[in-house]
Amino acid sequence: MEPGLWEVTSRIEVPDSPVQEASQTLRHCYTAEELQDPRNLIPRVPQECRLIGFRFVGNRATWSVECDGPRPMVGGGEMTLGKLAYASNLWSEVQDGGRTLRVTQRVRARRLGECMPEEAPPER
């Protein structure tokens, strides 16, 4: 992937819930440093969760997630990376009040161009 300004669109589907789908588009300025590790492209894993089985082969990443706590969850995902675009599909099964909710998330991203100074992440 090339560093720069990326537009990331995420669509979440939860068939058996009051809000069955939602989508969000945001822009993110990826630095060369961030892109050295493809784990930086997957959604952050909450503290009570463990990222397991992360594999990156060629341009494809796969992983699994397990979470403990009051709403246990299992899930996973796959991502295909390109120089100017990437796509990922994630799934999870969340225990909620004696029922299992199946959540799917589809992420599509494309590089828009160079980052503008106001879009660059803060210096560390």
Structure confidence by residue, pLDDT tens digits, 34-44 = 888 888 888 77
Q: Check whether 124 has a pLDDT greater than 50.
A: no
> What is the per-residue pLDDT for 77?
94
Confidence (pTM): 0.79
> What is the per-residue pLDDT for 119?
56
- Range of lowest pLDDT (20-24, 26-30, 76-80, 100-104): 20-24
Structure confidence by residue, pLDDT tens digits, 69-119 = 877 889 999 999 999 999 999 999 988 778 888 889 999 999 999 998 765
Place of tokens 């106001």: 118
